[in-house]
Structures are given as structure tokens and as C-alpha cells.
Amino acid sequence: MRIDILTLFPEVFDFFNHSILGKAKEKNLLEINAVNIRDYSLNKHKKVDDYPYGGGAGMVMAPQPTIDAIKAVKKNNPGKVIFLGPRGKTFNQEEGKRLAKEENLIFLCGHYEGIDERIYNYIDEEISLGDFVLTGGESAAIPIIDAIVRLVPGILKNEESYKDDSFYNGLLEYPQYTRPIDYEGDKVPDVLISGHHENIRKWRRLQSLLITKERRKDLFDEVELTKEDKKLLKEHYSVHKAQCIVHSEKEDFSCDEN
């Protein structure tokens, strides 16, 4: 995959030269280029913004350097131009999976009070990181690009690494443990050290369901439960209810009835 990022601060994207994505770049599985929009300004001071017509606070990114930068990158990258701005659809895992199928992408990072409206003629789609304001599109570009490229085949050593991620299948991820087995009396669940792979799989699925139901009910309500899911939940709550009765007899009223 090739990604070009049009930005006023290319040094920010040194982030992608490290860790897993840095290794992917070394193996030529991924190409990420940070392109400085200022390099395309015809202004002798390399100015890229100006005051808005009609008045108002702040500055607006000018069309000439931004559009010329897009045109220049398009000569070698035929991908979609994605603007990181507030009008766009909020980014999520499904959007990440969709964009990970592209071979080429171009991201435009906005700044100041926004971009000249005429620049939209050269933009294919707009994506927002969320309903809040950042100082620049660079802050949004890093997590969005990171989320996309890790889904590209070959970037991660094991495809299961992202298939078990939170949100990939609509659920939050199950709990994870590593050594030691016992840390200050807090032990790893027996099932995870049993060596019984099917029981481990079922436990992890149940935990994902329970955690999502507890912490992100909105996500849980959208999940289409399988027959196995319903059985796991039914068995869990049957045991849980029995435990509640035992606790009540012992005058332990901390049991959660849910």
C-alpha cells in the first residue's frame, strides 16, 4: 500500500518509521510519504493561508498551494484524496477495513480555520475522527492511518492479531494475561492455562460478550448473536444466578443481579 500525506508539518509523521509499521516499510510492504504543502506555494514567503472573505477569526488554507500539491502527488499516486475534517463520516473499524483494501490513498491534513471551499473539488471523501476539535489534521491522520494499514495483509505477522481486536467483529476484546500466573494473589483464570483450546475459545468469546454488554451496550445491541453466543450467555447467567442465591444466604448482598 502507498499512502501520501499532504501536510504543513511533515516531521510529525516520523511516527510511522518505528515499531511494526517501520518494519513494514523496510520490507516494502508499505510506503508512507509526508508531503509538505508549503513546497508548492508560489508565495515568496511560502505562505499557504490567508484571511477569510467576509471577515471572521483565524486564517484559511489557500487553494493554490493545496491544489497544486494534490495534483503533484496524483501523478504518482492514483488513490482517493481523503480530507480529515469535521464534515466527514466518523471513522470506525468498518471504515478501516474498507480503506485497507485500497492500494493507494492520499490524506489531506487541514489546519487553521479550515480549507478554501474550492479545494473540495479535488477531494473524494472526508473523514472525521470524532465530534471534537483538534489543532490540525495531523493529529487525526496518525490514528486513522495506523488503524488502516495494520489491516493490510502481511503488515502483522499473524492475521488473528487484528481479527481478535476490539471492534473488528463488533465486540470489545477479551481479557489478556501473561506471566506470572499468580501476581500478588491475583491469578490467571484456570481455563487459560488448561491447554484446552476449545474451552479457551469459548471463554474468550463469552468474555468479549460480557465486557461489551457491560461497557458498550450500544455495540452489544448491534451484534447478531449466534446460537453458541446465546448458549454461552445462558449458561453464564444460570451459574451467576445460583451464585447470587448462595451469596444471599451468606448475607452477601454485593451480587449483581444483571
CATH number of the domain enclosing 223: 1.10.1270.20
Q: What is the pLDDT of residue 257?
A: 47
- pLDDT for the residue numbered 253: 42
Number of structural domains found in the chain: 2
Question: Is 188 in the same domain as 145?
Answer: no
pLDDT at 2: 98
Whether residue 220 is annotated as binding a ligand: the answer is no
CA separation for the pair 120, 7 (Å, rounded): 16
Determine how β-strand 2-7 pairs with β-strand 31-36.
Answer: parallel
Q: What are the backbone angles phi and psi of residue 204, rounded to the nearest 5°?
A: -65, -40
**Are 189 and 243 members of one domain?**
yes
User: 247: which residues sit within 8 A by CB, 6+ positions away?
Assistant: 253, 254, 255
Distance in angstroms (rounded) separating the CA atoms of residues 204 and 210? 10
Residue 145 lies in a domain: yes
Asked, for residue 127, whether it belongs to a domain, the answer is yes
**How many C-beta atoms surround the C-beta of residue 127 within 10 A?**
20
Residue owning grid cell 463520516: 89
Tell me which residue range forms the domain holding 98. Answer: 2-149
In a domain, 170, yes or no: no
Q: How far is CA 43 from the centre of its chain?
A: 37
Is 131 part of any known ligand binding site?
yes
Q: What is the pLDDT along the chain (258 residues), one digit of tens a residue?
A: 999 999 999 999 999 999 999 999 999 999 999 999 999 999 999 999 999 999 888 899 999 999 999 999 999 999 999 999 999 999 999 999 999 999 999 999 998 889 999 999 999 999 999 999 898 999 999 999 999 999 999 998 766 455 555 556 789 889 999 989 999 999 999 999 999 999 999 999 999 999 999 999 998 999 999 999 999 999 999 987 777 765 665 454 446 544
Shared domain for 134 and 16, answered yes or no, is: yes
Same domain, 65 and 128: yes
Point out the domain boundary residue: 93, 124, 149.
Answer: 149
Same domain membership, residue 131 and residue 81: yes
Q: What is the pLDDT of residue 107?
A: 98
Is 169 inside any structural domain? no
Indicate whether 229 and 131 sit together in one domain.
Answer: no
- Give domain status of residue 16, yes or no: yes
Residue 218 lies in a domain: yes
- For the record, the C-alpha cell of 156 comes out as 502483522
Q: Is 132 annotated as a binding residue?
A: yes
From 125, 149, 173, the end of a domain falls on 149
* Domain boundary residue, one of 134, 149, 164: 149
Based on the domain organization, do 206 and 100 belong to the same domain? Answer: no
- The domain spanning residue 8 has which CATH number? 3.40.1280.10
> Within a domain: residue 163?
no
CA distance 138 to 192: 40
For residues 100 and 209, state if they share a domain: no
Greatest pairwise CA separation for the chain in angstroms: 82
Does the annotation place 96 within a ligand binding site? Answer: no
202 and 86 inside one domain: no
Same domain, 99 and 219: no
Give catalytic residue positions. 86, 113, 150, 165
CA distance linking residue 146 with residue 144, whole number of Å = 5
The answer to whether residues 55 and 123 belong to one domain is yes
Task: Say whether both 113 and 191 belong to one domain.
Answer: no
Answer whether residue 161 is part of any domain. Answer: no
pLDDT at 19: 94
Residues 6+ away with beta carbon under 8 Å from 7: 13, 34, 35, 36, 37, 109, 137, 138, 141
Question: Does 110 belong to an annotated binding site?
Answer: yes
CB 136 within 8 A of CB 80: no
What's the burial of 70, exposed, middle or buried (CB within 10 Å: 0-12/13-18/19+)?
buried
4 backbone dihedrals φ, ψ, rounded to 5°: -110, 135
